[in-house]
Amino acid sequence: MSFPRIQPPQRLLMGPGPSAIHPSVLAALAAPTVGHLDPYFLKIMDELQSMLRQVFQTSNPMTMAISGTGSAGMETCVVNLIEPGDRMVACINGVFGGRMAEVGERLGAEVTRIERPYGEVFSPEEIRDVVQRVRPKALGIVHAETSTGAWQPLDEIAGIVHDSGALLIVDCVTSLGGVPVEVDRLGIDAAYSGSQKCLSCPPGLAPVTFGPRALEAMDRRTRKVSSWYLDVGLLRNYWGSNRAYHHTAPINMNYALHEALRLALEEGLEARFARHMQHHRALKSGLAAMGIEYSTAPGCGLPMLNSIRIPEGADDVAVRGQLLNQFGIEIGGGLGPMKGKVWRVGLMGETAQKSSVLLFLAALEQCLNTQGLCPSPGAGVAAANEEYLKQR
């Protein structure tokens, strides 16, 4: 039996990830493969680490790309810092905070879950109360909750966690490269991300960084890390100066991340953050003109992941299907208790463009028109254009 060669359709990726990918990043995937200990690849690793430090805004030597998706980054941080019997606090205001808690529980940790409704964020007072009460070894919190579009402030919380003597583990999967992730300024002890969000690289690598307090905690462990593959004690020898064999790294994926990071730094982090915010504001203005509201609490919405309420009477699946099949636009549905209630619209990395915003608003209007739910034709695009004119 023969099979046709792969010919994927062209999509405008405006969901919660992956995002659009620059042609030079795709070209890097097709570059000649070398060995994982080849001098050329070791040079790529050095440069990749240097660029990741700049994007994480850290000087941490132990900054690297885990061979796996963002979930592998999450597990790497938790399994290396938590042992059976350790006390851990997991802050849950969406799906991904819950996953951190589950990893800790599978390790045999005593996990205390604190929760906020989906779309809300945690207050410093809530964090202070739980760390004083539990005295955990580590607290895990999501900086940018992909399932809800909530943007968690960390300034006060970081100080509270450190004053309690706990380690701070932060999920930056959706935030890295889209908004500031200031690891050194905040004293974040361990952070993880994914290659496919605001860095606009295909999924498959998980940038992580560990600060000095995290490394000291690893050195004090009384048991081996439960995962051999994700044991930073072993990975240190591969990503550190020894470059000792640990596993066969995905060579071409590292090429792609190298190019994606190069493009991000060439643009400049401040300019990149401003670009994400610019297009978010235009999208938000357009949606407001169409009578569509955000599901996140006021003042805590992410610019790169817009969680919006499905208009009353709209057919969730039909609208997303029409966007995909007629316009080639992918957006995300809701997860967990938000399923059927929200759409998640991504403006990440290469997707954060004026053309993406205007095309999406026009296409969404037509989809809602099909269901008799568009009271002001053209209002969304007009409002977005007006916002862009203000920003000139």
Taking only the tens place, the pLDDT of each residue in 277-307 is 999 999 999 999 999 999 999 999 999 999 9
Closest CA to 313 of 379, 378, 367, 381: 367
Assign 375 a pLDDT band (cuts: 50, 70, 90): confident
In single-letter form, the type of residue at position 168 comes to L
pLDDT at 219 over 90: yes
Predicted local distance difference test score (pLDDT) of residue 290: 95
Say which residues have a Cβ less than 8 Å from residue 244's Cβ, sequence separation at least 6: 237, 238
DSSP 223-256: S--S-STT-HHHHHHHHSTT----S---HHHHHH
Instruction: Tell me the mean pLDDT in the region 47-68.
Output: 98
Q: Which helix (H) or strand (E) holds 90?
A: strand 87-92
Distance, in Å, from the CA atom of 334 to the CA atom of 149, rounded to the nearest integer, reads 11
pLDDT at 392 over 80: no
Instruction: Tell me the mean pLDDT in the region 199-224.
Output: 97
Q: What is the DSSP letter of 243?
A: -
Size of the chain in residues:
392
pLDDT at 71 over 90: yes
CATH topology of domain 23-266: Aspartate Aminotransferase; domain 2 (3.40.640)
Region of poorest pLDDT, from 200-214, 331-345, 365-379: 365-379
Whether 23-266 shares its CATH topology with 268-390 is answered no
The per-residue pLDDT for range 314-343, each reduced to its tens digit, is: 999 999 999 999 999 999 999 999 999 999
Produce one character per residue of 268-290: b if its CB has 16 or more CB atoms within 10 Å, e if not. ebeebbebbbbbbbbbbbbbbbb
Beta bridge partners of 48: none
In the chain, where are the structural domains located?
23-266, 268-390
Predicted local distance difference test score (pLDDT) of residue 1: 87
Cis geometry, peptide bond prior to residue 18 (ω within 30 degrees of 0): yes
Predicted local distance difference test score (pLDDT) of residue 241: 81
pLDDT at 11 over 80: yes
Q: How far out from the chain centre does Cα 42 lie?
A: 27
pLDDT at 133 over 90: yes
Averaged confidence pLDDT in the chain: 96
Closest CA to 384 of 345, 358, 363: 358
Distance, in Å, from the CA atom of 201 to the CA atom of 260, rounded to the nearest integer, reads 6
pLDDT at 189 over 90: yes
Predicted local distance difference test score (pLDDT) of residue 228: 96
For the domain 268-390, what is the CATH code? 3.90.1150.10
Predicted local distance difference test score (pLDDT) of residue 179: 98
Predicted local distance difference test score (pLDDT) of residue 380: 96
Distance, in Å, from the CA atom of 265 to the CA atom of 254, rounded to the nearest integer, reads 16
Closest CA to 161 of 134, 194, 179: 134
Distance, in Å, from the CA atom of 182 to the CA atom of 360, rounded to the nearest integer, reads 32
Predicted local distance difference test score (pLDDT) of residue 67: 97
pLDDT at 244 over 90: no
Assign 242 a pLDDT band (cuts: 50, 70, 90): confident
Percent pLDDT > 90 in the chain is 95
Predicted local distance difference test score (pLDDT) of residue 240: 84
Predicted local distance difference test score (pLDDT) of residue 243: 85
Distance, in Å, from the CA atom of 147 to the CA atom of 130, rounded to the nearest integer, reads 24
Predicted local distance difference test score (pLDDT) of residue 315: 96
Produce one character per residue of 159-191: b if its CB has 16 or more CB atoms within 10 Å, e if not. bbbbebebbbbbbbbbbbbbbebebeebbbbbb
Region of poorest pLDDT, from 110-124, 219-233, 283-297, 370-384: 370-384
Predicted local distance difference test score (pLDDT) of residue 210: 98
Q: Check: pTM over 0.85? Answer yes or no.
A: yes
